[in-house]
Amino acid sequence: MPATRINVRRTERITPHMVRVTFTGDNLAVDNGFTDRYVKLLFPVDGVYPDNLDTLPRNEMPPRRTYTIRSAHDDELTIDFVHHGDSGLAGPWAANAKPGDELYFLGPGGAYTPDPTADWHLLVGDEAALPAIGAALEQLPENARIIAIVGSNEPQDLPHDVIWVDPDDVVATVKNLTLPAGRGHAFVHGEAGMVKELRGLVKDVAQLSISGYWRRGLHEDAFQAEKRTTAGAAR
């Protein structure tokens, strides 16, 4: 799949540690029907991309990071970046982004969109999952029965009621829930250790999308390599 070129149109600091970057580009074919649609952002090395970007083998590609598309309309695509200081790759890039800056992405992918026929919805995640949760909340109707729990100390203005908790309290908050009767649809994503603890608490929900987005102490390349190794060992 060829990489798609995008340029920064504007940036906004929506909370102290969340930077919203709106990009523009041609042929932004990202509407795949999912609310957790994600792209692999490719970051330049020393400010440049290789000329043969579309034909490079995986192990020679520029550094990549996976991000959920917060929204996309016409020729605009918006992505929210968590920024906690100068460490890491994507957060510092977003904090310093200016109009005209260039990126490329691969994708989109995705797997979840809230089932409109479900009796109720459970949305659980941390700041990494917040863009997907926000997109899902915007799609759900006003009368939908929703329990949304987000591990973040920086609440955002979102449709529907959201339970904002400290990231360390997400598991305990879900453990204390009494889930409604009927057929539920759950989206549970975020830090891999947290998701592992939550898996047993939500295993009986009729429809379930659950996965670790990242692991504490590992950058994405190392985490994805770990996931591939674990998947291979399980076969």
pLDDT of amino acid 157: 95
pLDDT of amino acid 219: 62
pLDDT of amino acid 231: 45
> What residues in the chain have per-residue pLDDT under 70?
217-235
- pLDDT tens readout for residues 136-149: 999 999 999 999 99
pLDDT of amino acid 201: 97
pLDDT of amino acid 58: 85
Q: How far apart are CA 1 and CA 18, in angstroms?
A: 30
pLDDT of amino acid 192: 95
Given a contact cutoff of 8 angstroms between Cβ atoms, the answer to whether 56 and 3 are in contact is: no
SS3 6: strand
